[in-house]
Amino acid sequence: MSNGGREGVGEGGRGAGWGRQVQGRGGMRCGGEVDTALGCLLRREWDQPPSEMRPPGSVPIKDYAIETPLEILPNSEGRYEVQIKFDMDTPVAAINFVLKEEETGAWFQHKGRDFRIPLSGSSDGGVPFGATEDIGVWPGDLGQLKKHEGSNAQPQETIPGGKGLSGKHISGFYQEFQIIKSEYTHNFVTVTVKRDNETHKRRVEFDTDIPGEVIIHWGVCRDNNMTWEIPPEPHPPTTRIFRQKALQTLLQAKADGRGNYLSFLLDAEYSGLFFVLKLDEYTWLRNLDNGSDFFISLTRMEQRGSTQDPGKVEPQKVDKPSQPDGIISDIRNLVVGLSSRRGQRAKNKVLQEDILQEIERLAAEAYSIFRSPTIDSVEASVDLDDQSIVKPACSGTGSGFEILCQGFNWESHKSGKWYVELGKKAKELSSLGFTIVWSPPPTDSVSPEGYMPRDLYNLNSRYGTMDELKELVKIFHEADIKVLGDAVLNHRCAQFQNNNGVWNIFGGRMNWDDRAVVADDPHFQGRGNKSSGDNFHAAPNIDHSQEFVRNDLKEWLCWMRKEVGYDGWRLDFVRGFWGGYVKDYLEASEPYFAVGEYWDSLSYTYGEMDYNQDAHRQRIVDWINATNGTAGAFDVTTKGILHAALERSEYWRLSDEKGKPPGVLGWWPSRAVTFIENHDTGSTQGHWRFPYGMELQGYAYILTHPGTPAVFYDHIFSHLQPEIAKFINIRQRQKIHCRSKIKILKAERSLYAAEIDEKLIMKIGSEHFEPSGPQNWIVAAEGQEYKIWEVSS
């Protein structure tokens, strides 16, 4: 079996995860190690091939596949091959396989499914005979599939007559696949639009840090009809018409060599500007938010603030959040990340449909009407002026100004009246500035803490009764605080045993049988499909690929929203199931805010934490991508890096190689929920306790930075409360939000300092630091190894 496609294959090791299909076996399975990463389901079951079929170097993967390294062919310009030998009378019906690039961790599949080579003449559910198809690649664990055209390989031999292939062995088979690879880089382009007082036109200015030759393909539209149009001459220098669809302009190199820029005038009649960037014949840069073209609204310029201050926006009231053009038009300065797609057969086609319609820049959130599943990590930054106009445009991600309080610890269940006790603190929490409280798991549970749920419709728990829970939510709503329910969707404890004595039969309103349990959980004998995530071995892991399971869970979440009054969800152990299912649940229940717990280990080498934690935060971002950005995630990466920075006086860790925050908040701040402690890491469990005595340094960091900060209950009601309250007050006074702009000033051994939104500077660490510059900075908070300044008004 050889890798027939050359495109996108470079030097370095390759591997293939593959397995066999035995005739007559059914079920729905996904083989190889990519079943969790991709969440796909096939109509045939994987099994490990017999030993005589396994090439040298093959390694078993779990119990249903093997991994085999491909060998580079001599004088082949980067072609790789593996040979699999088998007897013509083999009972193996087909070979299923996927490819993995070891250097990048990219997985290659065929149209979102595994490759399948039939050995017994049946191509059902697999790759068709005689056709040449393109495939897509997932960067890391998840990315964009890309379909291309124009292949011309022919089969060497097919079954005579072409009438049905069942039960016949293949004497010859040839198929070629082109591998199109997407890679992601992080750069910025700043687009500034302002009125030109001399010409009464609009001046558009592009500024980017991308080095080398950069070409912009651009066009305009009228009346927000989202249709590309070429404006009449005069055009900027070095501009030519590209295929009668767009203008192509070469950006000018900056004098200092650090990127490129462009400035030109547009008539005031145009309502929007489209653009993409081109680096070379094969490399196009598009918007990370949706993988499509950039769109900048040009309307209502006359209603904005001073044209001499492009960094400041005078916001306009928007009646309906479903009108994206009205919100976008209030943006003056858009700083966005770019996605680089590198492919040997990339098309020079300008997309005219499915343009991202960002409808909440003023709410500091990236929302869209049509959102692609290829959202990556770097986001736009905007300046907000008036918090009072913030309106969430769609569910799941709030307004951008949330400050979250975890309203319990590991021992809170012991009183049996926690809902009553917490309700008494609602006014105090509101006065401290909290806008959301995360309440404990509400359901009947085998464990008193609530994380081993059983009957999901029974809301009488160790924390209190259902009536007390509803009263708690009402009390917090009266205090202008929204309430998150802790939803445990990954696993569920059964009420009954099967014939083998295994607990996998459920009762209550959701009376599922063992089809609701994943098949690869070794403890619970499930008859469902293999898990789309990591197994939680203490309870039956739920198979979310089953439609009846998803329908029941969506109905339950909607019932909780209506019956209890929850405003959103904290989602437990989301590593256990594909984020695409979370998307379905959130679209059905329409929460105001949702956050997932994706917690796994950071990267270490010989016991020392690595400086580069991109792989760790990428896994979290991949999960958020899978939800289509409908939920945020706890920024475990930032917590871990804060641990090392403070404990070891290694504050240089708090800046990544690009000078950005090294956690999720450095890549996708509006989806990063930052924290330093919770009921698992602290409290009486203490699984990963924050460095003792340094908690205020941690809170000085997360409460001044982008992202949505979360404060632990034990810290709020302790000697730390006065300073935490001061930090929250500063954040709200300066209107810091989840997508505030950050400039790291110092990241050294004993000092970290940063400026946020040009109106707040903070520092942590033992080394002395004072802000400089023309602004008059005054001290707003100060303590042991932390200090915060505000601009004097």
Would you call 196 helix, strand, or coil by DSSP?
Answer: strand
What whole-number distance in Å separates Cα of residue 43 and Cα of residue 124?
A: 9
Q: Are strands 188-196 and 177-179 parallel, antiparallel or unpaired?
A: unpaired
Measure the CA angle with vertex 69, ends 67 and 72; round to 5°.
160
Among the listed residues 151, 158, 88, the one whose alpha carbon sits nearest the alpha carbon of residue 130: 158
In the annotation, is 11 catalytic?
no
Q: Are strands 133-138 and 177-179 parallel, antiparallel or unpaired?
A: parallel
Would you call 761 helix, strand, or coil by DSSP?
Answer: strand
**What are the tokens at 44?**
């045939």
Q: What values do phi and psi take at 788, rounded to 5?
A: -130, 135
| Measured distance between the N- and C-terminal CA atoms of the chain, rounded to whole angstroms | 71
Measure the CA angle with vertex 699, ends 695 and 705; round to 5°.
150
Catalytic residue, from 134, 383, 402, 572: name it: 572
Contact call for residues 636 and 598 (beta carbons, < 8 A): yes
Give the type of residue at 628: N
**What are the tokens at 126?**
């697999």
Could you give the residue ranges of the DSSP H alpha helices within 538-668?
547-563, 579-589, 614-626, 636-647, 664-667
Kindly give, in sequence order, each residue whose CB lies less than 8 Å from that of residue 180, ignoring residues fewer than 6 positions away: 7, 8, 134, 135, 136, 137, 146, 148, 343, 344, 345, 346
Among the listed residues 385, 428, 434, the one whose alpha carbon sits nearest the alpha carbon of residue 727: 434
Contact call for residues 785 and 792 (beta carbons, < 8 A): no
Could you give the residue ranges of the DSSP H alpha helices within 442-483?
466-478
166-187 CB burial, b ≥16 within 10 A, e <16: eeeebeebebbbbbbbbbbebb
404 bridge partner residues: 436, 710
Contact call for residues 134 and 177 (beta carbons, < 8 A): yes
Catalytic residue, from 35, 289, 358, 597: name it: 597
Tokens 């209890």, residue?
Answer: 564
What whole-number distance in Å separates Cα of residue 751 and Cα of residue 763?
A: 7
**What are the tokens at 284?**
């196009």
Q: What values do phi and psi take at 34, rounded to 5?
A: -95, 5
Among the listed residues 98, 790, 759, the one whose alpha carbon sits nearest the alpha carbon of residue 385: 759
**What are the tokens at 240?**
């030519």
What whole-number distance in Å separates Cα of residue 415 and Cα of residue 503?
A: 30
Contact call for residues 266 and 218 (beta carbons, < 8 A): no
Kindly give, in sequence order, each residue whose CB lies less than 8 Å from that of residue 98, ignoring residues fewer than 6 positions away: 16, 17, 18, 31, 32, 34, 107, 108, 109, 114, 115
Give the type of residue at 658: K
In the annotation, is 572 catalytic?
yes
Measure the CA angle with vertex 570, ends 359 and 563; round to 5°.
90
Q: What values do phi and psi take at 669, rounded to 5?
A: -60, -35
Q: What values do phi and psi take at 586, rounded to 5?
A: -75, -35
- Can you spell out the DSSP letters for 584-619? HHHHHH--SEEEE-------EETTEEPS--HHHHHH
Looking at the annotation, which residues are catalytic?
A: 572, 597
